[in-house]
A = this chain, B = another copy of it.
């Protein structure tokens, strides 16, 4: 049974190390699961057969034996189900882990995605300049709620798990603002996550797969 992760063969410099195939790569590295990569071009138009696998032409897609699926959150959950090191068997701990997995992707990432839009992708637009201060303020409140919930614990659950892979990769996207440095509890949390050898192997593998220039295929 081979695990195959779809990733991009090139992205601009600012996106390197941040593409979402990092998440399943990290999960595989935590569990010692070997995987292969299928590298595709990020350039439109996407081939119709790839759109059948991922409705918006994004990555990652996972193939695991006879099963294929998209959405990094669903893929993380699929991989975590294999091993209690990423997803505890105890019903309450399992429920808490899955709650935080969804929270990372539905309650935190949308704020940081919009902030990246304002600060990077649309930074020269008038609306983005006008939007920035209130968005930074509201995103900060959201992160305060997260920091309070994390408290003095090392991880979102009682031990490192699948929700931390999601949350750490989400929060790394806030490094460009002052949102993390002004919240040392969260900055330390991200530093703990990214210091894990499995994370270091995952990001090195993503970076090694990028070609220097865009390619069509």
**A interface with B by C-beta (< 8 Å):** 51, 55-58, 66-75, 77-78, 91-92, 95-96, 98-103, 105-107, 109-110, 113-114, 125-128, 130-131, 134, 142, 145-146, 148-149
Contacts and interface: CB of A to CB of B under 8 A. Distances in A.
A contact patch SS: helix
B95 A55 contact: no
A106 B103 contact: no
- Copies of the protein in its oligomer: 2
Of A91, A102, A131, most B-chain CB atoms within 10 Å? A102
Given A106-B106, A130-B127, A68 B55 contact: no
Contacts of A127: 126-128, 130-131
A143 to B, nearest CB: 10
Contact of A148 (B51, B77, B95, B128): B51
A41 B103 CA distance: 22
Contacts of A100: 71
B105 A105 contact: yes
A128 B51 CA distance: 32
